[in-house]
Chains A and B, each alone.
Chain A
Amino acid sequence: MPPTSPSRRHLLASMIAASSGLALSPLLAAAPSAPLLTRPIPSSGEQLPVIGLGSWITFNVGRDPQGRRESVDVMRQFFAGGGRLVDSSPMYGSAQDVIGEAVQTLKPARLFAADKVWVSGGARGVAQVEASRKLWRVPRFDLLQVHNLLSWEEHLPILLAMKREGRLGYVGITTSEGRRHAEIEKIMASQPIDFVQISYNALDRDVEQRILPLARERKIGVIVNRPFRQGDLTQALAGKPLPGWAADIGCTTWAQALLKFIVSHPAVTCAIPATSSVAHVRENLLAGTGRMPDEALRKRIAQDVERLA
């Protein structure tokens, strides 16, 4: 295959993006010719880059100055590369405060602040949201999600009221590792939520059966957590040669192939890999650029990962 020129590559990316509902966001700082693809939030049409940033474990560094510096560097690279959505939770230890420090230092112009409420009882939820907002150093959250459905019956009406009053952009619910999917479906079908956050990757594909189709039907955005099974998947694939299809979709690492598999699903709005490495942020952002696998290739990626991991 002859080498593709930047303009041809850009044109090809634009064509594929257009055909799958993806659009192009600001240029990547690290790779100016590779635009980061975006997807519309179904309930509003607002464009969101397909690669976000999780903070589970990676940003919980306590007061360690070195860990904090590294976390700020990760976020600097993320924003410079066109990233917007950063996701956290009160359950993640010092992560919210570390993100707040980065927000204060970097002043990102287009941050999409996504946090969670994780406490029993609605009144305590309101206090927790305010405490989280102060830690983040933001005037308001773009998205608040009920973490692992904890007390969702009490939290959802409060969050939806906050949205109506303009004190919040979007409302969502989360789960991880395949927990309580029946209840998730029930809420998706009955509540006016904007986002659902679930675990999805080339091996854990249960959500393809009901949750992802339901999200499309109900116009609910999908945020995907644990795209690498908390690192286990990339570790299992480390050292295994990338199959030939990887080059066709511009992947040089398994991590990129795994992310492209996720964000190419038409129901997925974005994936939120967490990392404490600047190099990995660059690698992850590149997975949100260029050609995406079609349905046939997605099946093949899943088969190959199943065989090799």
Chain B
Amino acid sequence: MSEWWTYSLSDFLMFSSRSYYRLIESYNAAIWPAHLLALVAGLVVIGAIARPRQHLQRSAALVLAAAWGWVAWAYHLERYAEINTAAPYFAAAFAVQALLLCWRAYRPGNAAPTPQPLALGLSGLAIFAYPLLALARDNGTWGQAEVFGIVPDPTVVATLGVLLAWRAPAIFWLVPVLWCLVSGATLMELKIGHAWLLPALALTAVLARVMRSKKTRDFNSTANPRS
């Protein structure tokens, strides 16, 4: 389809901010009080970053896999697809990420030996602060709160924190980072004030990961110089 190059970002925005947040509101109302369970799941994720033990890594991976799987089905396929024809593709990407996280639960890698403040900060922000963004928006209400494990954005940000703490390989980062770009662009087109937040958090996490890798490489080459 050679015509794609003639489309701009705004051509793919199919809905208004009103429809978007009303969709979140009705979804929240339909599944309440699942949010309380999501909060408990979020605490498990934070606990795994704060206390890097292998059994906690496994629990966090399973919790995240469940969150990504739930968002793929309950949000993207069942709700978002009503107003966005691309939502089934998003659902597929989220399902792939859920499978990756399941695999990680059974093959835990090398987590950082000590708690990582930035990783904790990202996940904490996603779980505790993200729901408050609804109140910071014009005409935003509690009913439109974006909660970890329920909607994509806070789920992705919390995952970025965990991936950072895990020093996870690049394949784990692909879908979360792409989602940050897609969602950031959508919010930008909807003229939402915090549209910059998601891409900025993704950039921060990726930069931190790259710098940490470089530091590890430098340390290894100093400790094991070639003879």
Interface residues of A (CB under 8 A from B): 57-58, 60-64, 66-67, 91-94, 120, 148-150, 176-177, 179-180, 230, 276
Contact = CB atoms under 8 A, between A and B. Distances in A.
B26 to A, nearest CB: 6
Contact of A61 (B3, B83, B84): B83
A179 B6 contact: yes
A276 B22 contact: no
A93 B6 contact: no
Given A61-B19, A64-B23, A67-B22, A93 B83 contact: yes
Contacts of A120: 1
Q: Considering residues B3, B13, B23, which has the most beta carbons from chain A within 10 angstroms of its beta carbon?
A: B3
A177 B82 CA distance: 26
A82 B170 CA distance: 59
Interface of B: 1, 3, 6-8, 10-11, 13-16, 18-19, 22-23, 26, 79, 82-85
B6 A57 contact: no
Contacts of B84: 93
Nearest to A175: B6
A125 to B, nearest CB: 13
B15 A60 contact: yes
B18 A148 contact: no
B19 A148 contact: no
Contacts of A93: 14-15, 82-85
A60 B14 contact: yes
Contacts of A67: 18-19, 22
Contact of A276 (B3, B11, B16, B82): B16
B26 A57 contact: no
Contacts of B85: 91, 93
Contacts of A91: 14, 85
Contacts of B23: 62, 64
Contacts of A58: 16
Given A93-B15, A150-B1, A63 B82 contact: yes
Contacts of B83: 60-62, 93-94
A64 B19 contact: yes
A249 to B, nearest CB: 30
19 contacts: A57-B16, A60-B16, A61-B19, A62-B15, A62-B23, A62-B83, A63-B82, A64-B19, A64-B26, A67-B19, A91-B14, A92-B14, A93-B83, A94-B82, A94-B83, A148-B3, A150-B1, A177-B8, A177-B11
Contacts of A179: 6
Nearest to A70: B18
A276 B15 contact: no
A292 to B, nearest CB: 30
Nearest to B4: A150
A268 B85 CA distance: 32
Contacts of A180: 3, 6
Contacts of B1: 120, 150
A127 B22 CA distance: 32
A230 B22 CA distance: 21
Q: Considering residues B18, B19, B26, B85, which has the most beta carbons from chain A within 10 angstroms of its beta carbon?
A: B19
A61 B7 CA distance: 23
A276 B18 contact: yes
Nearest to B25: A64
Given A57-B16, A177-B8, A230-B10, 12 more contacts: A57-B13, A57-B14, A57-B15, A60-B19, A61-B83, A62-B15, A64-B26, A67-B19, A91-B85, A93-B83, A148-B7, A177-B11
Contacts of A94: 82-83
A57 B85 CA distance: 13
A64 B83 CA distance: 10
A77 B192 CA distance: 30
B53 to A, nearest CB: 43
Name the 4 nearest CB pairs between A and B, nearest first: A62-B82, A62-B83, A93-B14, A179-B6
A91 B13 CA distance: 10
A150 B82 CA distance: 24
A179 B19 CA distance: 28
A280 to B, nearest CB: 13
